[in-house]
Structure 1
Amino acid sequence: MSSRRPLIIAVCIAGLAGLAGYAWYANQPRADGGGAPQAGAPQQVAGGGGQGAPVAVEVAVVQTRALADDVSAVGSLVSNESVVLRPEVSGRIEAIRFRDGEAVRRGAVLIELDAAVQRAELQQARANLTLAESNFRRTEDLFGRKFVSQSSLDDARAKLEVARASLALAQAHLARMQIRAPFDGVVGIRSVSPGDFVKDGDALINLEDIARLKVDFRLPELYLDRVRPGQALELSSDVLPGASFAATVEAIDPLVDAQGRAVRMRASLANPGMRLRPGVFARVRLILAERPEVPVVPETALVPAPGNVHFVYRVEDGKAQRVDVKTGQRRQAMVEVIEGLEAGATVVTAGQLKLRDGAAVKVAGAPAGVARVD
């Protein structure tokens, strides 16, 4: 093995020498102009189709569109009015005058309790009132003929007033045996039946006004000076994909949550067809301000740069000029341009990777307009 080592070393040295000679020969200029390019020689522009040829790009024209300053939040839907009906007195249920989930009108009798005693008391009070009225008329006539004293007349008048008050009290007791709807709405699912004995304060049925709904949501406190009652917002829910509902801010809680640093807000909206229901999760988009003329460009025109900044290539006189821009809102693949561009400018939307500042460009097709931003 040791005798073959010098032979192996000699072969390696010869191979290295051959490679060095080939590299020297390949880098020598030849008569036909071949070989490696010389330092400083002009290079072909990638995608340009020839030495110094313009770069093919796609462009779009900066246009202005109406854009809204908005903020998004999540909330829950609640009924416009909601109540759990409870009896004021104990008693046995005599009749139920509704069907579960039925729409009822204000004042409609929903549940009747056994009111036999109260009806008897009412009849007694009416009889007492009739007697008191007769006694008062008779005493008044006798007083006019000087047969009774003033005190007798006053006593008869007082008994008449007591009889009237007793009648009103009996009517109130009887009215409490009927549970009526306090507003138009839809009743829930009952858990009682005729014949059940209920105590005063027991929950019988819920009534919900869902012709209109309210949505409660919270916003960070930094928006406090930009919100006010009457502002418009859009509402959507997963239960109705693709549907959008218009709502209006009704109230702003004067107290800011000290833990979450958020302010509670309430908006109202119409509920046609009662498609939405209380308790549903909702997404809201509150429109803070409307701006009618905002420059926008497609997202594809932006080129990211170090330092979390962006720039675009503006096309002027057939050349690409790099322009640093400050961006704002993004909506439907469009970006608001706050600084750097004005309406009417032409920017590159495809082919930026082949460009450098000042490079010649060739527009592929007519400049594209900017899609509408709602």
Structure 2
Amino acid sequence: MASKATHFAVAVLGIAAALGAAWWLQRPLSRAPATADTPAQAGAAGQGAAGGARPVTMVTVEVAQVREMALSDDAEAVGSLRSRQSVVLRPEVGGRVTELNFKDGERVRRGQVLVRLDDQLPRAQVQQGEAELSIAQANHKRNQELVAQGFISQRSLDESAANLQVAQAKLALARATAARLSIVAPFDGIAGIRSVAVGDYLKDGADIVNIEDLDAVYVDFRLPERFQHKLQRGQVARVEMDALPGVRYEAVVQAINPQLDADGRSVAVRACIDNRRLQLRPGMFARVTAVFGERSNARAVPEEAVVPQGGSPTVYKIVPGAGGDSRLARRVTVTLGARRPGWVEVVQGLEPGDTVVVAGQQRLQRDGMPVKVVDLASPGQGELGSAPAAAGPTALAQALPGANPCLATLPAAATARHGV
């Protein structure tokens, strides 16, 4: 028994010695350095230790001011251009081409005869119909006189009247068949590249040439369903083309599809662009920014100032400290609004002229830490109080003077927004 007690006591003493040695080895890592580089620093450290006060840690941060600028409530999408009116001319009856009265890429007018097919047989049928109609009219007139004199029965007069109607119908059919051998332009536009030549035999429904109305072009695009309550006819959309860099066009919303796409949960929108200068072509790729509203005095901060904090965005606002020149960083919860490249609108939480931290937030360990502010005018942000330069294309496409063809089909309430 004595041997077991001795072994237990030795084990306890050994464990205690090991714990003491481990504590001693870890002690220098957990304590602040006791040495100072200079005697002055050593004295200051000794005074601080003697008085029990902790040294104040200053965090260096970069800041920017809350600015008022013009921001728009908008949404971006991609779309494609299409003609306001487009058609591919096709013959309704077969025949051989005898005339082509247009050139490729030429402007044509409504009602202009573009293609004629061989009409010898239909013209002969028209002449036959006219002769038969003449005979039927003469027989019917004669029967009317004979019935009045009582030489023939009323039945003979009814038969001649029916024969007259049949002759009229045959003549109308012959004339309609002959008219279909002349193919006319259904509206003003520009002819494409024809795919037939004089002498070709065309079957009914064969492609001849496409006609495009390019005085105004449509841009079709889709927006998520959450924007459908903001859309209305007459709104303006900014359109940019990759094929025409540096130029921005204004489109007027013409129609909004009342049915949402069940697959993509999006709403289809069609806007119109004045294209009387013929700079745009159907099929071009377009980048569309639908504008729902604009504000000239929106409060905005750089995007770098916003710090996600749980489910609410926050910013660090610079406020005066207790001392004369001291400054503190206070965390403020904000409500964000519209965005633009590099900037975000603050709807609630800040006022114009407030200073916020844009760099160094990760070093702010607690709310209300003293900070050292540097670089109040960061490169690329301009002087404090000056609005940033507007981003976007360098030029706005100018339309020809006169009535905008895109406003012709809009109601009066919508055209009033455009000064019409």
Under TM normalisation by the shorter chain, which class is it? 0.7 to 0.9
How big is the shift at 1:114?
0.4
Q: Gaps spanning 5+ residues in structure 2: where?
A: 1-32, 49-53, 378-382, 392-420
Partner residue of 1:70? 74
**Does 1:186 find its partner at 2:203?**
no
Partner residue of 2:11? none
Cα gap change, 1:329 to 1:100, in 2 (>3 Å): same
Amino acid corresponding to residue 38 of structure 1 in structure 2: A
C-alpha separation in 2, matches of 1:283 and 1:352:
36
What pairs up with 1:201-216 in 2 under 5 angstroms? 201-216=205-220
C-alpha separation in 1, matches of 2:359 and 2:83:
55
How big is the shift at 1:89?
1.4
How big is the shift at 1:208?
1.8
How big is the shift at 1:193?
0.6
2:347 to 338, 342, 347: 338
- Check conservation: 2:215, 2:278, Cα contact below 8 A: yes
Partner residue of 2:45? 38
2:255 to 243, 251, 256: 251
What SS does the corresponding residue of 1:110 show, helix, strand or coil? strand
Amino acid corresponding to residue 368 of structure 1 in structure 2: G
Partner residue of 2:203? 199
- Check conservation: 1:110, 1:179, Cα contact below 8 A: yes
- Check conservation: 1:313, 1:352, Cα contact below 8 A: no
Partner residue of 1:5? none
**Does 1:82 find its partner at 2:86?**
yes
Cα gap change, 1:305 to 1:129, in 2 (>3 Å): closer
How big is the shift at 1:225?
3.9
**So what's the TM-score if we normalise by structure 2?**
0.68
Cα gap change, 1:214 to 1:123, in 2 (>3 Å): same
What SS does the corresponding residue of 2:250 show, helix, strand or coil? strand
What SS does the corresponding residue of 1:129 show, helix, strand or coil? helix
> How large is the RMSD of aligned CA atoms in angstroms?
3.7
- Of 132-141 and 362-371, the range deviating more from structure 2: 362-371
**Does 1:324 find its partner at 2:318?**
no
**Does 1:115 find its partner at 2:123?**
no
1:368 to 373, 385, 389: 385
- CA offsets per residue over residues 318-356 of structure 1, 9 Å max, x none? 64553425333332543211232123x332578878997
- Check conservation: 1:224, 1:263, Cα contact below 8 A: yes
C-alpha separation in 2, matches of 1:257 and 1:214:
20
**Does 1:347 find its partner at 2:355?**
yes
C-alpha separation in 1, matches of 2:375 and 2:285:
49
How big is the shift at 1:287?
2.1
Identity percentage of aligned residues: 41
What SS does the corresponding residue of 1:244 show, helix, strand or coil? strand
- Check conservation: 1:257, 1:263, Cα contact below 8 A: yes
Partner residue of 2:13? none
- Check conservation: 2:232, 2:253, Cα contact below 8 A: yes
Partner residue of 1:21? none
How big is the shift at 1:215?
2.0
Cα gap change, 1:158 to 1:171, in 2 (>3 Å): same
- CA offsets per residue over residues 32-90 of structure 1, 9 Å max, x none? x576752649789799xxxxxxx9x8764532x44322111111112222222211111
- Check conservation: 2:57, 2:370, Cα contact below 8 A: no
Cα gap change, 1:364 to 1:94, in 2 (>3 Å): closer
**Does 1:266 find its partner at 2:265?**
no
C-alpha separation in 1, matches of 2:247 and 2:80:
16
Partner residue of 2:134? 130
How big is the shift at 1:174?
0.2
C-alpha separation in 2, matches of 1:85 and 1:173:
17
Q: Give the paired residue count.
A: 338
How big is the shift at 1:99?
0.7
**So what's the TM-score if we normalise by structure 1?**
0.75
Amino acid corresponding to residue 387 of structure 2 in structure 1: V
Partner residue of 2:110? 106
Amino acid corresponding to residue 338 of structure 2 in structure 1: Q
**Does 1:139 find its partner at 2:143?**
yes
- Check conservation: 2:66, 2:300, Cα contact below 8 A: no
C-alpha separation in 2, matches of 1:182 and 1:210:
14
How big is the shift at 1:259?
3.4
Amino acid corresponding to residue 224 of structure 2 in structure 1: P
**Does 1:233 find its partner at 2:241?**
no
How big is the shift at 1:205?
1.5
C-alpha separation in 2, matches of 1:364 and 1:325:
22
